[in-house]
Amino acid sequence: MKILLVEDETLLSDSIRSALVQEGFSCETALSFQEAREKLADKIYDIVVLDINLPGGLGFDLFGDIQSMDSHPGVLIISVRNSLDDKLRGLNLGADDYLVKPFHLDELLARIRSIIRRRYPQDSEELVYHNLSYDLAANQVRVNGQELKLTHSQLRILYYLLVNKNRTVSKESLSDYVLKDDIDMVDSFDYIYTHIKNLRQKLKKEGCEVSIVTMYGMGYTLKKSDGN
Amino acid sequence: MAINQYSKRFITKIKKVYVVALPILLVLTILFNNLVIDFYYKVIYRNRFKAQAEEVVSYVELTGSFPKIEGITYRPLPADTKPYSYFEYHFFDVVTVDSDFWSILFFNQHLNNKRIKEFTTTAKIKNRWYELKITKIELNEPGGPENEAVLFAVAFSLILFFLLNWGFFQFNLNRVSYNLWRPFYQNLRRINSYHIRNKEPLQLKDTHIREFELFNQAILDFTTKTQSAYNQLREFTENTAHELQTPLSILLAKVELILKRTSLESENRKELLDIKKTIVRLSGIHKGLNLLSRIRSIQYAGNIEKKEINFNELVRESLETYEELIEYRNLTVTLQADTPVLLSTNEELVRILVDNLLRNAVQHNVNQGEITIRLTSRGFEMSNTGSVVEGRTEDLFARYHTKSTDNGRLGLGLAIVEAICETLDFHCAYAYQHSQHVIRIHWQK
């Protein structure tokens, strides 16, 4: 997967790039509008991570170049602009997702992975891990084909863990992803802990081969259960 | 008030009015003069003459003989006549002196003229009816009734002239004060309706009055300076809120990259997690400030998009959003809505308003607490249980009101609520009733 990162802040660009490289993506960066335009004309990318405020122009104006490419890359906008107007504008122009700065790197990676999944569907619209499957279209979780009733927050937790399967997800990024702006309304770790406890019980009851493992001091990982 | 262009112009105007008003006053006085003289002759003088004539009649009836006086004639009447009496007054019969225009105008022929007065009545003498006609011809003589009439008329005219003049004076006085203060009150109204958040600078009417102009200039200078300072501050807040997100995202990304390293000691990890938590909180504050400044700029621009929205639906959607958090804290939510409430307003802002209020009610609640939402066509009310607010409740909507138990978090939620209410012309109030926090929003005053 080739990713073009269009971001004018060198420091941020570097961090994102190293995170992407760690995840096994090949990543190129563009620091200005002009540079992004040249790179888009030169090479073929699968994903474009695009900032809106760029020296030399607005990221919105790059959509013409992006759409004219043969590979039709997926676009993820990252911007400080938080207004509904900007989000709608970006999505109407053909962006796949819109992420408001500042964001957690985990969240960025999760969004990129979900774009890839949508763009290049391997086995329909489903996330499958052993006998656990997540139907993205219907927003349903099945264990051995049997539907599992989950609350909204539990669905989000499971989705996030599934997207990051076999990786450790920190409590912070998980609670950030699940609670978003409501993070300061409750003791978020306790909230997450309560939901994870319930989620574990539900999964175990249905005989799921996958379980949520606590990595002490680091977070949670979705792993195949050991034996029992 | 000093004489200036405006008052000079106004005094000239009043002078002009006087030029017209004085002849009118004069004519009114003359007409009144005439009326008074007529009144004198037809009422006062007539009664006096009638009394004289009645004396003659009583004398005749008493003595049974007719006195030989000039101007009294007798005539026997048939036996079956009924008694009668009448009074006549002529000018035209015996006119000897020519009356000119002025005497007619001023005295209606009463002066410098001869008059003939006749009093006709009946009297019964020895069972026979007689007609008595007493005639008196008068000339304008010194010491005669005319002098009395003129005095009478002049006294009345003077009183009238005085009263009319007084009335006119009062009228003008009121008009002068009304006109002189009118520009002041016009500008006062403009100043009162002016708000520093308006896009348009304050405009004041030219008064042409030096003192008012000085005062207006001072006010204009003051508001212009304040407004530009306000705008600078507003733009600064907007820009800061924007610009700070980028460095924050860099910080966050760097910290997360370090956290991803497996070689990290758990002690360092904990420190880094604290840093990360602080960054996230800082970003949240900025998001709140950003929203606040965006609401202010919507208010500033003055064009609020409005559309018909179903308020009940909106509240229900908002409740759905916080469903799990409500469940997590074991809160009991009661929604009281009798009728569907339709409201023409800005959807985005109202959504933020309701979300913020509900968030507030959930966040500041106690576990196993209650939330009651009452919805009427005039407004809505959200009450929730929670700890007692210390200090003055008026400060509750103020932007940076914080409680010590809030862990240093800024209470931006209610400031946002207040800003939205101000933008949409709603009225919001807070009360602490029956150990519940109640926030009322009214959209109809």
User: pLDDT tens, A163-179?
Assistant: 887 778 878 778 877 87
Write down the pLDDT at residue B22: 83
Interface pTM, i.e. ipTM: 0.72
Please check the confidence at residue B109 and state whether its pLDDT lies above 80.
Answer: no
The number of folded domains in chain A is 2
The mean pLDDT value for A128-133 works out to 83
Q: Looking at CA atoms only, how far is residue B263 from chain A in angstroms?
A: 12
In CATH, what number is assigned to the domain containing residue A16? 3.40.50.2300
Q: Which residues from B are below 8 Å from A7, CB to CB?
A: none
The mean pLDDT value for B323-348 works out to 84
Write down the pLDDT at residue A48: 92
Residues 125-154 of A with CB under 8 A from B: 151-153
Instruction: Check whether residue A155 and residue A190 sit in a common domain.
Output: yes
Domain boundary among A119, A134, A150: A119
The mean pLDDT value for B283-298 works out to 78
| CA-based nearest residue to A156, from A175, A169, A132 | A175
The mean pLDDT value for B129-155 works out to 70
Instruction: Check whether residue A89 and residue A107 sit in a common domain.
Output: yes
What CA–CA distance (Å, rounded) separates B95 from A75? Answer: 121
Cβ <8 Å between A182 and B359? yes
| Distances in whole angstroms, Cα of residue B48 to Cα of each of A172, B78, B307 | 119, 30, 88
pLDDT one-digit tens code per residue, A25-78: 899 999 999 999 888 888 888 899 999 888 888 888 888 888 887 778 889 999
Chain B: residue nearest A51 by CA?
Answer: B246
What CA–CA distance (Å, rounded) separates B27 from B31? Answer: 6
E-strand stretches of B91-181 = 115-125, 128-138
Q: Looking at CA atoms only, how far is residue A22 from chain B in angstroms?
A: 10
Put the strands of the sheet holding B115-125 in their side by side order. Answer: B72-76, B128-138, B115-125, B85-90
In CATH, what number is assigned to the domain containing residue A182? 1.10.10.10
B105: how many CB neighbours lie within 10 A of its CB? Answer: 12
Question: How confident is the prediction for chain B on average, in pLDDT?
Answer: 78
pLDDT one-digit tens code per residue, B214-267: 888 999 999 999 888 988 887 887 777 677 888 888 898 898 888 877 677 778
The mean pLDDT value for B174-196 works out to 84
At B203, phi and psi to the nearest 5? -115, 130
Cβ <8 Å between B325 and A11? no
Q: Looking at CA atoms only, how far is residue B384 from chain A in angstroms?
A: 15
Write down the pLDDT at residue A221: 87
Q: Looking at CA atoms only, how far is residue B379 from chain A in angstroms?
A: 26
Signed CA dihedral, B202, B205, B208, B210: sign only: negative
Q: Which residues from A are below 8 Å from B323, CB to CB?
A: 152
pLDDT category of residue B75 using cuts at 50, 70 and 90: confident
Q: Domain range holding A167?
A: 126-224
Write down the pLDDT at residue B110: 57
| CA-based nearest residue to B106, from B186, B45, B27 | B27
- Contact with chain B for residue A156, Cβ under 8 A: no
DSSP code at position A101: S
Nearest to A12 among B253, B283, B290 (CB): B253
DSSP string, B333-362: EEEEESSPPEEEE-HHHHHHHHHHHHHHHH
What CA–CA distance (Å, rounded) separates B158 from B152? Answer: 10
Instruction: Check whether residue A106 and residue A151 sit in a common domain.
Output: no
Question: Taking the model in full, what pTM does it have?
Answer: 0.57
Architecture of domain B307-444 in this structure:
2-Layer Sandwich (3.30)
- Contact with chain B for residue A103, Cβ under 8 A: yes
Give me the total of CB pairs closer than 8 Å, taking one residue from chain A and one from chain B: 95
What's the length of chain B?
445
List residues bridging with A132 in a β-sheet.
A129, A143
Domain boundary among A75, A103, A119: A119
Please check the confidence at residue B297 and state whether its pLDDT lies above 60.
Answer: yes
Domain boundary among A68, A102, A119: A119
Nearest to A80 among B242, B260, B276 (CB): B242
Domain assignments of chain B as residue spans, ordered by start: 2-163, 195-303, 307-444
Cβ <8 Å between B328 and A186? yes
Q: Which residues from B are below 8 Å from A80, CB to CB?
A: 242-243, 245-246, 249
Lowest mean pLDDT among A110-124, B133-147, B250-264, B301-315: B133-147
pLDDT one-digit tens code per residue, B20-47: 888 888 888 878 887 887 788 778 777 8
